Structure 1
Amino acid sequence: MNSGLVLVFILFFIYSIYIIRNNMISIAGIKIKRSPMLLAAQLSQMLIIVLLFSFSGTFIHSTSIFMFMLAGLFLGEMFILKGDLNRYFMQVEGKHYGLGILGIRHIIVFICQSIMLVLFGLYYW
Structure 2
Amino acid sequence: MGDFDITEKIIGEAIYVHRNLGPGLLESTYQNCLYHRLKSIGLKVEKEKPLPVFFDGVFLECGYRLDLVVDDSVVLELKSIKKLKDIHKAQMITYLKLSGYRIGLLINFNVLRLVDGLIRLKN
Query: When the two structures are superposed, what TM-score results if normalisation uses the length of structure 2?
Result: 0.32
Q: Which has the higher strand share?
A: 2
TM-score (norm 1): 0.32
| Higher CA-based Rg | 1
